[in-house]
């Protein structure tokens, strides 16, 4: 096995709550990400799925240090990003770029597309005006827009086109990894398919690695090589997309998969309907965080938190039932 | 049972901005029977929501205007009613739930107040009875401890719970028709499954017909009997769910079905997309609105607007090449065709 490009170990982020008593630190905190470990290899796409509030987006922001983790390590090409000094971190971050969900909110409305795409080069002082302009034109072509679009403003573009601009902006510094945080959730199906095709093409062309966050399980299956399922700040199952979709081990993954709407009107799908929604992360349930909603919970699940167990083929899951078998 | 509840004929809605007139809805017709569910699908800007809001005459005017057509609901022509008569229909006989449950609930009133308001507006009941009914409704939509929850504010509820409250308000007056405008788009898949399940269950109880506006065809397969496919303000295809899935006729519907990501799509194949983008509705469109993006378009498509013609049992499409004399076949087998064979 080759060396992983990105190695994340025991990553945690606890957001402290405001204390009811002034000047006294609160002991309560929201455990948004609570001990997450995974590897990402060059050229692959790692999908991260889970319900709202499970910590997917916080995890993405921790990986490139947009927020500082409470503990844990993030090793990129063998170097730990956490605690790295500012100058070096900025340099390393060139290789880790992001594409956000909302194509309307992530572009400054007062800048032209040309300025927006050139901005990373300006910040990192790469090239002069002419070479920057050339690079912008090159990238517009790459993402399927035209050179004359450089002079226009964001409001003149549709959602799909804006997402293309965001992708061009992420590509400008030749990154190794692009973290895509729900990049197609806000788009119509036909446009969604265009953007997904573009992301796949770019991956082949530029040898990119993606961390792909989404709550649409069909999109994740199509895009990703490996999938991590998160629940309340923890990874509960991880494996290749085939393993996850064909042989899910964790009851939560099974429920998630069964909640995908029907493929066609003839489909008679057995559905596991979960009760309630994700519990409060300030005071998560004891033992296995999922036990209150789990259709197969046992007594043991209330007391003991399960560990991640390797079930072969690089497939891991955390459920007490796996020990029983 | 197949008694007609709603009949929309040639509905036209226009929006005026400056000198430009946008024809948001351009001749939409469909019928809906009691207890039947219809799905309206299409891309953003295709006129789905405008069609639905104009059924309640809630189009902001100006700039909007229902410029033509008729809406027959339960023996009444809604476009001819006075504003006062219309008020007694809204929320009572026809109610609506929206995509974003947070913005459609008032943050400064408890959810109980908001359900009671709807009941008291339309029914002559005492406050006490209304409250009892509100608790009953909350219980029905699956909110635990409704006696306590009724005194809570919307911000204390999660997204899925808020949508349940919206459904409770919408159904509290036992409407004949429920319009749901993307009710599950903002929710997680697991919660979406809960809400769809709830809607199906409540329909049995209340005998309500549902108009489901969505861009997710999965939701349509789940809940609906009929589908209306809209493109650029026009209906391009209309039929039963089974007909539309098994024998789609309009090239736009083909494109829509093909761009869905399903299990039958192989990961190594690029996804099928519809090239181009929808037309600018401020400009007059002569001919078929889809012609510019259609792979099968010929000269006639750019000059003459196709009419809706019957292409199967209770199945209509607006395409020049899908009539009794003409048959258009798909150029190549797509993932969707393969899925039909296996299903």
The ipTM (two decimal places) reads 0.79
Chain B residues closer than 8 Å to A198 by CB = none
Substitution target from A188, A212, A254 for chain B, most B beta carbons within 10 A: A188
pTM of the predicted model, to two decimals? 0.85
* pLDDT exceeds 50 at position B311: yes
In-domain check, residue B321: yes
Cα B8 from Cα B320, distance rounded (Å): 23
Cα A298 from Cα A324, distance rounded (Å): 11
**What's residue B342's pLDDT?**
56
Dihedral angle sign, alpha carbons of residues A317, A278, A258, B262: negative
* pLDDT exceeds 50 at position B284: yes
CB nearest B190 (choices: A188, A192, A274): A274
Angle at Cα B266 formed by Cα B296 and Cα A165, nearest 5°? 70
Q: How far apart are the two ends of chain A, measured CA to CA in Å? A: 30
In-domain check, residue B240: no
Q: What is the mean pLDDT of residues B279-303?
A: 86
* CA Rg value for chain B: 21
Q: Please report the residues numbered 132 through 161 in chain B whose beta carbons come closer than 8 angstroms to any beta carbon of chain A.
A: 144, 158-161
Are B221 and A264 a contacting pair at CB < 8 A? yes
Substitution target from B39, B163, B189 for chain A, most A beta carbons within 10 A: B189
Using the Cβ of B194 and the Cβ atoms of chain A, whether some distance falls under 8 Å is answered with yes
**What's residue A312's pLDDT?**
84
pLDDT digits (tens, 9 = 90+) for A188-215: 888 888 899 999 999 999 999 999 998 8
In this structure, the number of other CB atoms found within 10 A of the CB of residue A286 comes to 13
Cα A169 from Cα B195, distance rounded (Å): 38
Residues B69 and B163 in one domain: yes
**What's residue B332's pLDDT?**
63
- Laid out side by side, the sheet with A226-231 consists of A96-99, A177-181, A209-213, A45-49, A226-231, A234-240, A316-317, A309-310
**What's residue A105's pLDDT?**
85
Mean pLDDT taken over chain A: 89
CB B94 within 8 A of CB B175: yes
Specify the pairing of strand B226-231 against strand B37-41: parallel
Q: What is the mean pLDDT of residues B204-224?
A: 89
Chain B residues closer than 8 Å to A194 by CB = 271, 273
Chain B residues closer than 8 Å to A190 by CB = 43, 255-256, 259, 273-274
Domain encompassing residue B287: 251-342
Residues B25 and B115 in one domain: yes
In-domain check, residue B242: no
Cα A264 from Cα B200, distance rounded (Å): 17
Residues B205 and B261 in one domain: no
SS3 A194: helix
Buried b (16+ CB within 10 A) or exposed e, A142-151: bbbbeeebbe
* pLDDT exceeds 70 at position B336: no
Distance from chain centroid for Cα A3: 21
Cα B211 from Cα B178, distance rounded (Å): 6
**End residue of a domain, out of B197, B228, B259:** B228
Q: How far is A246 from chain B (nearest CA, A)?
A: 11
**How many domains would you assign to chain B?**
2
Secondary-structure breakdown of chain B: helix, strand, coil percentages, each rounded to the nearest 5: 35, 25, 40
Q: What is the mean pLDDT of residues B205-217?
A: 89
In this structure, the number of other CB atoms found within 10 A of the CB of residue B236 comes to 26
pLDDT digits (tens, 9 = 90+) for A240-272: 999 999 999 999 999 999 888 887 888 777 778
Q: Which residues pair with B8 in a beta bridge?
A: B30, B71
> Between the CA atoms of B117, B71, B177 and A264, what dihedral angle is there, to the nearest 10 degrees?
-140
Substitution target from A192, A204, A264 for chain B, most B beta carbons within 10 A: A264
Q: Please report the residues numbered 242 through 261 in chain A whose beta carbons come closer than 8 angstroms to any beta carbon of chain B.
A: 255-256, 258-261
Chain A residues closer than 8 Å to B257 by CB = none
Chain A residues closer than 8 Å to B270 by CB = 197, 200-201
In this structure, the number of other CB atoms found within 10 A of the CB of residue B85 comes to 11
In-domain check, residue B40: yes
Are A271 and B256 a contacting pair at CB < 8 A? no
Substitution target from A158, A190, A193 for chain B, most B beta carbons within 10 A: A190
- Per-residue 3-state assignment (H helix, E strand, C coil) for B69-112: EEEEECCEEHHHCCHHHHHHHECCCEEEECCCHHHHCCCCCCHH
Cα A198 from Cα B96, distance rounded (Å): 38
Q: What CA–CA distances, in Å, run from A183 to A52, A61, A101?
A: 15, 15, 5
Are B193 and A265 a contacting pair at CB < 8 A? no
In-domain check, residue B237: no
**What's residue B331's pLDDT?**
65
- Indicate the pLDDT class of residue B12, thresholds 50, 70 and 90: very high
CA-nearest residue to B252 within chain A is A190
Specify the pairing of strand A316-317 against strand A309-310: antiparallel
Q: How far is A142 from chain B (nearest CA, A)?
A: 17
Q: The domain A6-95+173-261+270-324 belongs to what CATH superfamily?
A: P-loop containing nucleotide triphosphate hydrolases (3.40.50.300)
- A and B: number of Cβ contacts within 8 A: 119
Residues B223 and B261 in one domain: no
Distance from chain centroid for Cα B283: 25
Using the Cβ of B270 and the Cβ atoms of chain A, whether some distance falls under 8 Å is answered with yes
Kindly give the parts of chain A with pLDDT less than 70. Answer: 1, 325
* pLDDT exceeds 50 at position B1: no
Question: In chain A, where does DSSP find H-type helix?
Answer: 56-63, 86-93, 113-123, 129-142, 159-171, 189-206, 217-223, 241-246, 251-258, 299-303, 320-324
Cα A314 from Cα A304, distance rounded (Å): 24
CB B115 within 8 A of CB B138: yes
Residues B327 and B193 in one domain: no
Using the Cβ of B241 and the Cβ atoms of chain A, whether some distance falls under 8 Å is answered with yes
In-domain check, residue B167: yes
CA-nearest residue to B225 within chain A is A265
- Indicate the pLDDT class of residue B294, thresholds 50, 70 and 90: confident
Q: Which residues pair with A7 in a beta bridge?
A: A39, A75
Q: Please report the residues numbered 19 through 58 in chain B whose beta carbons come closer than 8 angstroms to any beta carbon of chain A.
A: 43-44
Cα A120 from Cα A126, distance rounded (Å): 9
Using the Cβ of B59 and the Cβ atoms of chain A, whether some distance falls under 8 Å is answered with no
Query: Which structure tokens are listed for A39?
Result: 């590897």
Chain B residues closer than 8 Å to A219 by CB = 261
Distance from chain centroid for Cα B189: 19
Chain B residues closer than 8 Å to A197 by CB = 270-271, 273
Residues B137 and B271 in one domain: no
Residues B149 and B74 in one domain: yes
Chain A residues closer than 8 Å to B242 by CB = 265-266
Chain A residues closer than 8 Å to B188 by CB = 51-52, 215, 277
Residues B55 and B142 in one domain: yes
Are B221 and A217 a contacting pair at CB < 8 A? no
* Domain CATH code at residue B66: 3.40.50.300
Residues B126 and B23 in one domain: yes
Cα A317 from Cα B31, distance rounded (Å): 50
Are A264 and B192 a contacting pair at CB < 8 A? no
Dihedral angle sign, alpha carbons of residues B160, B162, B165, B166: negative
Place of tokens 């002419």: A130
Q: What CA–CA distances, in Å, run from A218 to A54, A223, B259?
A: 19, 9, 12
Residues B153 and B116 in one domain: yes
């Amino acid at each position: 096995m080759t060396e992983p490009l990105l190695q994340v170990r025991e990553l945690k982020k606890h957001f402290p709550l405001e204390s009811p008593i002034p000047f006294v630190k609160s002991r309560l905190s929201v455990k948004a990400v609570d001990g997450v470990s995974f590897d990402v290899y060059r050229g692959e796409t790692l999908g991260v799925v889970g319900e709202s509030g499970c910590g997917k987006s916080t995890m993405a922001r921790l990986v490139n240090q947009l927020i500082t983790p409470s503990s844990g390590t993030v090793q990129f090409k063998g170097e730990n990003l956490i605690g790295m000094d500012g100058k070096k971190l900025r340099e390393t971050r060139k290789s880790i770029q992001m594409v956000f969900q909302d194509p309307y909110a992530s572009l400054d409305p007062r800048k032209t597309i040309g300025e927006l795409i050139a901005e990373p080069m300006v910040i990192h002082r790469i090239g002069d005006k002419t070479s920057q302009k050339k690079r912008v034109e090159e990238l517009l072509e790459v993402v399927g827009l035209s050179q004359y679009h450089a002079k226009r403003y964001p409001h003149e573009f549709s959602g799909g086109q804006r997402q293309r601009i965001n992708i061009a902006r992420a590509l400008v510094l030749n990154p190794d990894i692009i973290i895509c945080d729900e990049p197609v959730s806000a788009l119509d199906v036909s446009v969604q398919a265009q953007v997904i095709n573009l992301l796949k093409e770019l991956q082949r062309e530029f040898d990119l690695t993606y961390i792909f966050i989404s709550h649409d399980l069909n999109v994740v299956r199509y895009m990703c090589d490996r999938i991590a399922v998160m629940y309340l700040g923890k990874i509960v199952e991880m494996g290749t997309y085939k393993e996850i979709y064909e042989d899910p081990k964790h009851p939560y993954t099974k429920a998630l998969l069964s909640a995908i709407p029907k493929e066609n009107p003839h489909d008679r799908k057995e559905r596991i309907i979960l009760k309630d929604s994700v519990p409060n992360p300030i005071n998560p349930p004891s033992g296995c965080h999922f036990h209150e909603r789990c259709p197969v919970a046992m007594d043991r699940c209330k007391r003991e938190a399960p560990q991640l167990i390797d079930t072969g083929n690089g497939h891991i899951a955390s459920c007490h039932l796996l020990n029983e078998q | 049972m197949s008694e007609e509840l709603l009949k929309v004929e040639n509905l036209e809605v226009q929006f005026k901005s400056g000198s430009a007139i946008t024809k948001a809805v351009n001749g939409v017709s469909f019928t809906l029977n009691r207890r039947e569910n219809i799905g309206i699908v299409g891309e953003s800007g295709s006129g789905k929501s405008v069609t639905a809001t104009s059924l309640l005459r809630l189009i902001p005017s100006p700039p909007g205007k229902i410029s033509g057509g008729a809406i027959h609901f339960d023996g009444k022509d809604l476009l001819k009613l006075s504003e006062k008569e219309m008020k007694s229909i809204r929320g009572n006989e026809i109610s609506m739930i929206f995509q974003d449950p947070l913005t459609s609930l008032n943050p400064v009133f408890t959810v109980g107040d908001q359900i009671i308001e709807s009941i008291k507006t339309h029914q002559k009941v005492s406050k006490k009875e209304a409250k009892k009914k509100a608790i009953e409704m909350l219980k029905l939509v699956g909110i635990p401890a409704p006696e306590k929850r009724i005194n809570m504010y919307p911000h204390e509820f999660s997204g899925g719970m808020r949508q349940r409250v919206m459904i409770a308000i919408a159904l509290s007056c036992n409407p004949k028709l429920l319009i749901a405008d993307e009710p599950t788009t903002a929710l997680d898949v697991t919660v979406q499954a809960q809400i769809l399940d709830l809607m199906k269950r409540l329909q049995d109880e209340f005998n309500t017909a549902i108009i489901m506006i969505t861009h997710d065809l999965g939701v349509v397969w789940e809940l609906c009997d009929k589908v209306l496919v809209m493109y650029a303000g026009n209906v391009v295809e209309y039929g039963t769910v089974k007909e539309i899935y098994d024998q789609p006729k309009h090239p736009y519907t083909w494109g829509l079905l093909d761009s869905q990501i399903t299990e039958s799509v192989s990961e190594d194949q690029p996804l099928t997309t519809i090239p181009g983008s929808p037309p600018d509705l401020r400009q007059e469109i002569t001919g078929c609105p889809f012609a510019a993006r259609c792979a099968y378009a010929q000269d006639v498509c750019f000059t003459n607007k196709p009419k809706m013609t019957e292409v199967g049992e209770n199945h209509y499409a607006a395409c020049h090449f899908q009539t009794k004399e003409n048959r258009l076949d798909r150029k190549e087998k797509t993932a969707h065709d393969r899925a039909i064979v296996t299903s």
